[in-house]
Chain A
Amino acid sequence: MTNRRPPLYLLIPAGAALALVLVPIAGLLQHVPWHTLLTQVTSDQVLTALRLSLVCSVLAVVVALVLGVPLAWMLARTTFPGKAMVRAVVTLPLVLPPVVGGVALLFAFGAHGFAGEALAHLGVTLPFTTAGAVLAETFVAMPFLVIAVEAGIRQADVRYEEAAATLGAGAWMRFWRVTVPLIAPSLAAGAALTWARALGEFGATITFAGNLPGTTQTMPLAVYVALESNTDGAIALSLVLLVVSLGILLGLRHRWLGVRV
């Protein structure tokens, strides 16, 4: 039944859905200054923003992995009181407007926030720093990782871990040599989505981390700022972001769908 030609009554709304996404992208492509594209893309401002974005987004993924995988494990394999609440809280950043997230981070980690004051005693300041940008990106992107990995762990047969235990493997060995390889696909998919989300984060970053080229002006911020003074630069940056996102999604398609396209 899956190889039939698409019927007309489905083709029309489906076509409209596709157009909804394609038309703005086409609008963008139409204005790309192809003749100056190379100089734009290699200009200082763009390269700085690009490098910063890559560093911050990758760090965000690392933090999300280190913190999110144990959390996903607990949600998938253990029971404890308030588990449903924990899961809701962890996925909250998904529905929270990013600016709201940024404001919340500001009030918590800012100079007058309870967490900010505590950190200040240790000599750590987060607002207007690259670390702050990483925190903002992690905040909005980590839920993707937790959700993907939790689903993966749930699907993984717990009996493999039992088998490993009967063979004498302790918890650490079981985790690294059995669980992680078994959930590798969902781990990779979760990490890729997290990275894409972190890369594109704007509202939380600008509200909490601020806007300073080289320190906190990530690509989305640079696009926004460039929109006025350097439209060509903005479009060039947008194109770069578009290509990167497309690349991630194409690379993911097998995982995402679980079938051959």
Chain B
Amino acid sequence: MLVLLATAGAGCDNPSATHTNGGGGDRAADPLTGKLTVLAAASLTDAFEHARTALLATHPGLAITNSFAGSQTLVTQVENGAPADVIATADTATMQRLVADGLVDVPRVFARNRLEIVVAPGNPKHVSGLADLGRGNLKVVLEDPSVPAGRYGRQALQRRGTTVRPVSLPLDVRSELLAVEQGNADAGIVYVTDVSSAGAAVSGVPIPDSENVIATYPVAVVRATTNRDAAQAFVDALLDGAGRQALVALGFVAP
């Protein structure tokens, strides 16, 4: 079924060469159809839902499925042949595994993110910066080192020279936010975008640029994709003007 639709899509389309790249201009091509499976790191949830909606507006016949999980899980899935068309991870090291195995086209960095300390609303424990996370009476959660956010967080702490004894190592950012929201932890290190997407449920304590780590998000088309045109269109939509604006609005840093 999937194959049939993809062929039909390809048949109806103009060749992909006519797709314009960047600049928010009109798309002269016919609307794309078929199915598109997008794998993305958990911290990209809001961003990619937004991108999906935007793409559907111009290509209503396209069926886009976003699947969010930890970057390492996504990469393992692709390595083991899970059907996917586009993949975006939270750091280049994880994406590099797929590049080395020849499973993806050349990745492009479409966003950057910075770290922020997340605390309960109103910052009741008066956390002022990375150094405070080493306080003995503070319950801190950090992402597990197997997750990009975890690696970034540890990097920042190491540079600052702070030793932290976390109470738990959640495997994804959503769990970490939940822990702080629920009061089971007092502070954690997540992305700026996560803090803003959590809204009033949490407060954020900024980390100065000198101490911060910049996370880079690469996106790539999976070589084994069955809907190359749609995949490429999705990637393009992330990288063009409108896409970039949307990402910045969510708190990401333009690449």
Contacts and interface: CB of A to CB of B under 8 A. Distances in A.
Q: In the complex, is A directly touching B at CB under 8 Å?
A: yes
Interface of A: 106-107, 110-112, 127-128, 206-207, 209-213, 215-217, 224-225, 227-229
A213 B166 CA distance: 10
A206 B184 contact: no
Given A128-B139, A228-B146, A106 B168 contact: no
B184 A110 contact: yes
Given A210-B167, A212-B168, 16 more contacts: A106-B178, A110-B184, A112-B183, A127-B179, A128-B184, A206-B171, A207-B175, A209-B168, A210-B168, A210-B169, A211-B169, A217-B169, A224-B171, A225-B144, A228-B72, A229-B146
Find the residue from B168, B171, B185 having the highest chain A CB count within 10 A: B168
A112 B179 CA distance: 11
B171 A110 contact: no
A112 B171 contact: no
B145 interface: yes
B155 interface: no
Contact of B184 (A127, A225, A228): A127
A111 B183 contact: yes
A185 B166 CA distance: 44
Contacts of B141: 128, 210
A227 B80 CA distance: 13
Interface string B151-183: 000000000000000111111000100110011
B182 A112 contact: yes
B76 interface: yes
A106 B170 CA distance: 14
Chain B interface bracket (under 10, 10 to 19, 20 to 34, 35 or more) = 20 to 34
Given A128-B139, A227-B76, A228-B146, A111 B168 contact: no
B144 A211 contact: yes
Contacts of B184: 106, 110-111, 127-128
15 contacts: A106-B178, A110-B182, A110-B183, A127-B179, A127-B184, A128-B141, A128-B179, A128-B185, A207-B175, A211-B168, A212-B166, A212-B168, A212-B169, A217-B169, A228-B146
Nearest to A113: B182
Contacts of A213: 169
Contacts of B166: 212
B169 A111 contact: no
B171 A211 contact: yes
A27 to B, nearest CB: 11
B218 to A, nearest CB: 17
A207 B175 CA distance: 8
Interface of B: 72-73, 75-76, 139, 141, 144-146, 166-171, 175, 178-179, 182-185
B182 A111 contact: yes
Given A228-B72, A229-B145, A211 B170 contact: yes
A106 B182 CA distance: 8
Nearest to A210: B168
B168 A128 contact: yes
Contacts of B144: 211, 225
Contacts of B73: 228
B146 A225 contact: yes
A184 B185 CA distance: 44
A216 B179 CA distance: 15
Nearest to A221: B171
A23 to B, nearest CB: 15
Contact of B171 (A127, A128, A225): A225
A206 B141 CA distance: 13
Contacts of A110: 182-184
Contacts of A227: 72, 76
Contacts of A106: 178, 182, 184
Nearest to B120: A111
A112 B120 CA distance: 12
B179 A210 contact: yes
Find the residue from A110, A212, A216 having the highest chain B CB count within 10 A: A212
A138 B139 CA distance: 25
Which 9 pairs of residues, A with B, have the shortest CB-CB distance? A210-B168, A111-B183, A228-B72, A127-B184, A128-B167, A228-B146, A128-B168, A110-B182, A211-B169
A185 B183 CA distance: 44
Find the residue from A112, A127, A229 having the highest chain B CB count within 10 A: A127
Contacts of A107: 182
A111 B186 CA distance: 11
Contacts of B182: 106-107, 110-112, 127
A107 B178 CA distance: 11
Contacts of A207: 175
